[in-house]
């Protein structure tokens, strides 16, 4: 940001220590430690001033019972597929914490001025968005409309919430938003707050590997495979079939299960029970609406039958 000679008038961040430290480092590098980070807002018994520009609404998503756990520990306790469902779904939150980990937010002095009912015990991505947007509308937007240049330093999911709102991202695409760590994302907005330009403060050659790395999963359950495979089916295979092409797909067992699940409308509960015989072709015949009218494995008996029918028409 310093090399691009960016100047900011106001900085916003969460009340979490890592965001505050990063904000301090960034402003120090920009020689902007003097810009406003404190405003008068609420009188309490303990505080005459509160950090209005450091808001709990910009905190990272509250993961309830998963809060503070490593990925490996959460997989061991709850199961990989269940954890993946909680962390990658738009509107399915993890269970609430049983209070055996970090202290509940209501006992944290950073939240002493808040109504206890506002503090989340667990959140889905949908809940996180609903928490973040009031701060956008009530604090950030008025500053922008006054001509202020704004710096927001927050966390993966609170930034996703802002991007979803600014770019009008559909609900089912929010969790696909990739945000490279530590690389500033710049928005240039019209007076109506519609973005006219959006770019990362880094060369394309620097950004591309980071985005590619975030797209390639470290591990997957069958639900993840299903989610990954379907866009290719819809965007590539279906158009080829509709053009009258006869399509051959050579792939792997879990990918085939994902396609079979979709085509045969099989429930999540029995997807793992789908039997996919190795090296045995599976043939689907579709109607004009891409619904299966017939499907069968091309066993030796079926191949002999097909060959007999071909000879009969010769």
Binding-site annotation: residue ranges for substrate? 18, 71
CA distances from 286 to 73, 115, 273, 297 (A): 45, 57, 24, 15
What the block records as the tokens of 171 is 């609900």
What the block records as the tokens of 244 is 């009258």
The one-character DSSP state at 217 is -
What is the C-alpha to C-alpha distance for residues 161 and 129, in angstroms, rounded to an integer?
5
For residue 184, which of 208, 152, 215 has the smallest C-alpha distance? 152
Q: Provide the CA 114 distance to its chain's centre, in angstroms.
A: 28
Contacts of 285 (CB under 8 A, 6+ apart): 292, 293, 294, 295
3-state secondary structure at position 10: strand
3-state secondary structure at position 306: helix
- Secondary structure in 3-state letters for 252-275: CHHHHHHHHHHHHCCCHHHHHHCC
DSSP symbols for 52-102: SSB-GGGSPPP-GGGTT--HHHHHHHH-HHHHHHHHH-SS-PPPPP-SSSS
Q: Which residues are annotated as a binding site?
A: 18, 71
What is the C-alpha to C-alpha distance for residues 268 and 273, in angstroms, rounded to an integer?
10
Q: What is the dihedral of CA 214, 218, 221, 224, to 10 degrees?
A: 20
Q: What is the dihedral of CA 71, 76, 82, 84, to 10 degrees?
A: 20
Q: What are phi and psi of 192, to 5 degrees?
A: -80, 0
């Amino acid at each position: 940001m310093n090399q691009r000679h960016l100047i900011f008038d106001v900085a916003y961040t969460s009340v979490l220590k890592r965001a505050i430290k990063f904000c301090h480092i960034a402003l120090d590098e920009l020689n902007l430690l003097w810009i406003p980070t404190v405003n008068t807002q609420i009188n309490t018994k303990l505080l005459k001033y509160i950090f209005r520009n450091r808001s709990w609404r910009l905190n990272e998503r509250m993961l309830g019972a998963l809060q503070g756990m490593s990925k490996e520990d959460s997989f061991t306790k709850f199961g990989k597929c269940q954890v993946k469902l909680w962390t990658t779904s738009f509107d399915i939150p993890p269970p609430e914490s049983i209070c055996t980990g970090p202290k509940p937010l209501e006992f944290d002095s950073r939240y002493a001025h808040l109504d206890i009912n506002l503090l989340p015990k667990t959140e889905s991505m949908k809940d996180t968005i609903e928490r973040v947007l009031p701060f956008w509308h009530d604090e950030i937007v008025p500053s922008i409309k006054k001509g202020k240049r704004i710096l927001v330093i927050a966390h993966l999911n609170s930034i996703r919430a802002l991007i979803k709102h600014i770019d009008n991202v559909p609900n089912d695409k929010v969790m696909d938003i990739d945000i490279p760590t530590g690389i500033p994302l710049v928005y240039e907005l019209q007076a109506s707050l519609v973005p006219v330009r959006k770019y990362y403060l880094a060369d394309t050659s620097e950004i591309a590997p980071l985005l590619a790395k975030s797209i390639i999963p470290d591990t997957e359950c069958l639900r993840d495979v299903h989610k990954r495979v379907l866009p290719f089916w819809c965007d590539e295979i279906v158009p080829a079939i509709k053009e009258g092409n006869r399509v051959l797909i050579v792939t792997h067992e879990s990918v085939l299960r994902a396609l079979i699940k979709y085509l045969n409308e099989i429930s999540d509960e029995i997807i793992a029970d789908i039997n996919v015989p190795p090296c045995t072709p599976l043939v689907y015949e579709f109607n004009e609406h891409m619904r299966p009218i017939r499907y069968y494995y091309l066993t030796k008996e079926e191949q002999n039958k097909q060959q007999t029918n071909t000879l009969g028409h010769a």
